[in-house]
Amino acid sequence: MRKFLNYFLALDSFYSLPFAFAVLTVFFIGTIFTLSFKHLPEQIPLFYSTSWGESQLVSKLQFLILPTVVSLISLVNFFVASQLPQNQLVLKRILITSSVFVNIIILVTAIKIMTIYY
């Protein structure tokens, strides 16, 4: 894992902050979930794009979908960006920046879901 991390950080200085943000986002969502696990009801709303009611609810363990999605999107974007040639710098930065935006959206969603119950 350390070799993998050093590889990404050595590619471009633009990688280090978004990579750290992705790791912190996963850690923060996991911490929020762990600390509030006892206070959560058995079902929590997660799928807001579906119609109102039971279809929005998931078990509280399915809340872990959010940090999993953050991890997968970040890893795929970092991997694809690392495989692009050096002359594709703009595309690399677009991939990394889009990863940051997705992380922010998922982090805000997780915070909003957790603040419903406090």
Per-residue pLDDT reduced to its tens digit, 50-90: 777 777 788 888 888 889 999 999 999 988 988 888 888 88
pLDDT > 70? residue 13: no
- Percent of the chain at pLDDT above 90? 25
Q: Look at residues 21, 7, 4 and name the one whose alpha carbon lies nearest to residue 103.
A: 21
Task: Give the whole-angstrom CA distance, residue 9 versus residue 13.
Answer: 7
Q: What residues have CB less than 8 Å from 94, skipping those under 6 apart?
A: none
Average pLDDT, the chain: 84
- Residue 28: the pLDDT is 93
Q: What is the pTM of this model?
A: 0.79
Domain ranges of the chain: 2-115
Per-residue pLDDT reduced to its tens digit, 83-95: 888 888 888 889 9
